[in-house]
Amino acid sequence: MKFMLDAGHGYSTPGKRTPDGMREYEFNREAARYAREELKKYENVEVYFSHSDERDVPLTERTNKGNSLNVDAFVSIHANAFGSGGWNNAEGIETYAYSSQPSRSTALAKAIQRQMVASTKRLDRGVKFANFHVLRETTMTAVLVECGFMTNREEAALLKTDSYRKTCGQAIGRAIASYYGLTLKTTSGLYKVQVGAFKKKENADELVKQLKKAGFSPFIYFDK
């Protein structure tokens, strides 16, 4: 399956920051990176980014890219803000689906909202509907998740931490994986069974003789 993760905005987008200066993009890009890391643990998954560290990619370019790659889902990651610049008490997590086609993306929005609230333990503001460009102009399932308020002191402090970014990214990745029923990759490696370790070679030889007698095919491996 193909997924597009969309970290909202860019480094130099005006506004879009906490009252004490963290840029929203700093959070969004890291959460997207962790979400991709999580999704890559599953089989047959391709993950694309719509955003860039070099510029604030225009919304139309983002949705065109998702549409032309024909991804299965487009997930836009943001941090919220309320009011006109200062700190306030608005808080929590909310996930959006497109208002005119609520059936298209509501189930994925619910899955992400549920997992985000469970993982972050922040206030559950629920699934909402909006006429956002990234929801309206995408031809596939598309949702937008707001991972906490930059204008809330406590949540702004969390949004700055690597651990909260990771928690959000993993929650988003896991929710997508479980919604689409993805299968975890089996870890590669060897499962070894050893039956003895000896300082003297003759003791090893003796065990090999006994194992051969018992029908096994043992071998000696010398490890310094």
Q: Of 146, 154, 155, 202, which is the active-site residue?
A: 146
Return d(Cα 224, Cα 178) in angstroms, integer.
Answer: 45
State the nearest-atom distance from the C-beta of 80 to Zn ion, in Å: 7
Return d(Cα 38, Cα 108) in angstroms, integer.
Answer: 17
Do 108 and 38 form a contact (C-beta atoms < 8 A)? Answer: no
Q: Which is nearer to Zn ion, 46 or 61 (CB)?
A: 61
Q: Which is nearer to Zn ion, 17 or 174 (CB)?
A: 17
* Beta-carbon contacts of residue 61 (< 8 Å; ≥ 6 apart): 50
Q: Which is nearer to Zn ion, 24 or 42 (CB)?
A: 24
State the nearest-atom distance from the C-beta of 194 to Zn ion, in Å: 55
Handedness of CA 211, 213, 217, 223 (dihedral sign): positive
State the nearest-atom distance from the C-beta of 45 to Zn ion, in Å: 25
Binding segment for Zn ion (CB under 5 A), chosen from 77-85, 115-123, 126-134, 158-166, is 77-85
State the nearest-atom distance from the C-beta of 73 to Zn ion, in Å: 19
Residue 23 near Zn ion by CB under 5 A: no
If phi > 0 it is left, if psi is from -120 to 50 it is alpha, else beta; for residue 90 that is beta
- The CB density around residue 14, as the number of other CB atoms within 10 Å, is 7
Q: Which is nearer to Zn ion, 29 or 78 (CB)?
A: 78
State the nearest-atom distance from the C-beta of 19 to Zn ion, in Å: 15
181-210: contacts with Zn ion (CB under 5 A): none
The length of the chain in residues reads 224
Return d(Cα 71, Cα 34) in angstroms, integer.
Answer: 19
146 classed as catalytic: yes
Query: Which residue is nearest to Zn ion, using beta carbons?
Result: 78
Choosing from 3, 5, 6, 8, the residue that interacts with Zn ion (CB under 5 A) is: 8
Choosing from 17, 78, 122, 165, the residue that interacts with Zn ion (CB under 5 A) is: 78
Binding segment for Zn ion (CB under 5 A), chosen from 32-40, 55-63, 76-84, 130-138, is 76-84
Q: Which residues bind Zn ion (CB under 5 A)?
A: 8, 78
Cite the active site residues: 146
